[in-house]
Every structure is written in C-alpha cells, then in structure tokens.
Amino acid sequence: MPTTWRALVLCRPFALLALLLPLVAAADAGTARTESGLLKGTHAAGLIVYKGVPYAAAPVGDLRWRESQPVTPWTGIREANKFAPACTQKGVSMPGETPPDISEDCLYLNIWTPATKSTQRLPVLVWIHGGGYSNGSASMPLYWGDRLAHKGVIVVTIAYRLGPLGFLVHPQLTRESGHGASGNYGLLDQIAALHWIQRNIAAFGGDPHRVTIAGQSAGSMAVSILMASPRAKDLFQHAIGESGGLFEPFQMAPIYMLANAEQQGEKYSTSLGVASLADLRRLPADRLLEGSAAEIAHPILDGYVLPMSPYDAFAAGRQNDVPLLVGSNAEEARSLIDVSGVGAGTFAADLEHTLGPLPPAIIAAYPHATDAEARQARLDLERDLRFGWDMWAWARLQVRTGHSAVYYYTFTRKPPFPADSIYAGWGASHFAELWYVFDHLDPSTWPWSQTDRKLAEAMSDYWVNFVKSGNPNGSTVPPWRPLVGDNGPVQYLGDSITSGTLSDPGRLEVFDEVYSSLRH
C-alpha cells in the first residue's frame, strides 16, 4: 500500500546531582530557584507567569541533532518576562495565527502558576502544541494558561524542535548516536522538558507526582507516543489527547521505519547539496527548510524513543498506564480540506489521486451517489482516516489492556466563526475545541453566546478536574462516565452536554478490519 495512503497532520536524565539541589521558592515572591539559577517571573491578575524558561541547552552547532543537553547555570536573577522565539519553521500551525518569531535556540517553556508558596504542590498540566511536527509555538495566545491556572492548576507550555531539525534520520546520525538510532529529537525534547519539570516544578508550587501531559493534533500524537515510550515512564500521571494519535499499521507507511527514514534523510541532504554530517551542521537553520524538508517532519520507530509502534505497545499492555481523556471533533476536516470541487462522478478517482488506492470497503462505507453526498463523504472519510479511528483505537486499547480509566468525547459545537473570517464554515472542525478547553473566548471578539460560555466553563472544568485527579467529574459539570466498551459511553460536548454511544461505529469498524488485515 502506498505511503501516501494516510496523510499526517502531523533524554537522557541529566546529572543526578541536580536532584539534590534545593528547589524551593525564594523569599521574594515571584522568584523561583531552579537547578540552573534564580528566575524572576511577572505578576498578572493573581498569577505568577514565567516566560522563556530554558529547560535544555540551545541545540545549535555541534548540538544540532543530538539529545537535549543540560542548561548552563547562570548567576544572579534571570528575568523570565518575555516569551522565547518558537523553533525554526515555515508557516504557522493554525490558520489565522500570527507567525511567531523563530530561532534554532528554542528549547524553552512557559509557566502560569497560582501558587503563592512552593509548598502548595499543585497539579501540573503540560501542553504540547500541534502543527504537524513542522510548525507551532508554545506561546500562541490561545494556549496561554491563565484561565486554567485560576482554577487551581499550574500550566506549562513547552517548545520542541520541529521539521528536519527535530526529526531528521540519517545513517551518519545513527552511527554517532551511541544507541543505533536517529530522528525523534523533538520527542526527546519533550521528554527532557518532562524531566526538567520533575526536578524543578516544586520551586513553582507544583507537584511532580501529579503531572498531566496534553496535546492537540501532532501534540496529541506525541502524547500517544509518550504513553508508548519506555523513556517517558513515570514522568506523568495522566494523559489528554485531542484529535491526534499514531495507531495505524506501520506496514502501510514504510517511512516510519528506521532504514527507510535513513534513505529519505540521505535524499534530503543531497537535495541541499551536502553529503556529510559536518556540512549539514554548518548550514544556516533556514536552509534546512528547503529541499525535501516537508518529508522529514515525522516520528519514526527508532528502537530508542519508540521501540515498538504505539498500537503494538498498547495491545501488549506495555504502555505507560495512566488515566486517559481522549476524543475528536465531529467535523474535523472542514478546516483542513476544500471539497468545493468534489463530485460523485470522480469521487473514487480523486481519492486515489490524493491518498493513493483505497480498499473498496472503505470507499463503499461513504455513500457518494450525488455531488452533495460526495462532498460530505469526502469530509467524513478525511475525519475518520486522520482522527476518528485513531482516537477510537487509542481509547479501546487502553480499556482492553490498561488498568486506568478512559474518558472519551466527541466535540460537536459549531463556534460562531464570522462569515468574513478565515474560519468561516469550519463548524466543529479541527482546532475548534481549543477555544473552549482553554476558556479563551473573549480574546476573539466573535458573537459568543451564553451556550458557548457555558460550554467553555464546563470543558475547562472537565480538563482541570482531570488534571487534578485523573477524573473529569466534579460538582459543577454533568456526569461523565468512563468508556467501558467499543461504543461508549461517549461524552458529547456541544450545544448541550450529553452521554451516549458512538454515533457511527460501522465506518470505524471498516477501518479496523482493513488495518487488522495489514498487521497479519
């Protein structure tokens, strides 16, 4: 099956001596003592915010394409009052986003804490941004942790290397690594950030034993990988995945295998006119975004960060077994593809041109007798192919082989996106739940209704409750029952909040059958 079948939207612990350092807040409120030195945050509406906190050394020069290394300690007080540049990238992770400042020196995180003293031991939410592993920013205003922090949790947003700087696989890198693998540097950054949080978050009033990792799109895929990675064991206690997972059979995407990815990396370096690793490390960072860079931005099965595919790890019960909150949106594809030219007569041919040959059973599961049906079928198929099946598989696997509860949702609310905006016609699309999860309606001056505000209050409460306890339930929200079987209960988050069964399991079961046949 062609590699185009499924288009992705796509640490070593530091010195033990650092664990013995006193991680306590300084006497001056708003100053925290980390293992590398003192940090001075800013007070904002009852919170203390630390921006641009280094969690690893700048991955530049000889550190390009190496595991994250410790931060060089500093003397005096470092001002943490300005966001660091995002990691080197082209474009933006989300339509309408203001392009961020970028730099190869980008391994920083941001902290919003309501703690007034370091002994509070508040639960911690760690946000991993999306962007197809090619772009995105830890400081995008939509991800700011102010509203969630006011509900009693510490919010940390982390940056990680992207594109070829984060995921290049190359035989020379494999040989020099010392563990027979290359690539996945962006994932190693995430693991390094989680180690940093384990060692330092107490200085900000956080509890290193109550850490929740969460992400959307590629960030959610990263959460699925971290749950499957032995290198992330014991670094988090709960996990949240929104519209992204990596559970398809790797047999249908050979680019996920180390040897194939090495060949791809060699072709990429050739496209840049260089052959040696030394020459690659000397190239300016922006040059690395040329050539076939877009084909490099994905994780691989490297035997180090990811010894086996997430599906196989979960199926064998070898995942990091923690409570899981996971789901997707009812109209994911509306923000991602244009179906205005889709018609009944060319439906199958158009699919083959875009995705490669599809099994007839999958095409048949999406009726397309009329042009209107074909347009809807194209949206539904894209939703299920890229998001719906992954989230369903992830949830079911955890129920079957794990011992921790799973809370499964479908987001159905259509935000009031203005007709003259880039978001027009999106509906309950990819990205749409983010305004509600972070309770960030007001920064966008759209005609939000009381229904929107109630949903944002409830969803942010659910997420915060889950961060606190591994259970989204609480006195302010409708009950949310954990998933117990293949088809429910599902929490529908929309105009109202209801509990029910999966709305259309038949189509997902078709994907299941096709994927199962590929695995055998």
Q: Which residues pair with 54 in a beta bridge?
A: 108
Q: Is 158 exposed, middle or buried (0-12, 13-18, 19+ CB in 10 A)?
A: buried
CA dist 311 and 132 (Å) reads 20
Q: Is 179 a catalytic residue?
A: no
Catalytic residue among 67, 104, 331, 332: 332
Could you say which of 170, 238, 430, 440 is catalytic? Answer: 430
Out of 68, 139, 182, 217, pick the active-site residue: 217
Q: Exposed (0-12), middle (13-18) or buried (19+): which is 294, by Cβ within 10 Å?
A: middle
DSSP, collapsed to helix, strand or coil, labels residue 257 as strand
Catalytic-residue membership of 353: no
Give the count of beta carbons closer than 10 Å to the beta carbon of residue 382: 24
Question: Could you give the angle at the alpha carbon of 519 between the alpha carbons of 515 and 520, nearest 5°?
Answer: 120
The answer to whether 217 is a known catalytic residue is yes
User: Alpha helices of 254-327 — where are they, by DSSP H?
Assistant: 258-271, 277-282, 310-315
On whether the CB atoms of residues 246 and 390 are closer than 8 A, the answer is yes
The tokens of 425 are what?
A: 């016609």
Give all strands (DSSP E) within 84-216, no chain letters: 86-87, 102-103, 108-113, 122-128, 154-158, 206-216
For residues 45-79, one letter each, b for 16 or more C-beta atoms within 10 angstroms of the residue's C-beta and e for the rest, the string is eebbbbbbbbbbbbbeeebbbbbbbbbeeeeeebe
Structure-block tokens of residue 501: 């069964």
Active site residue ranges = 217, 332, 430
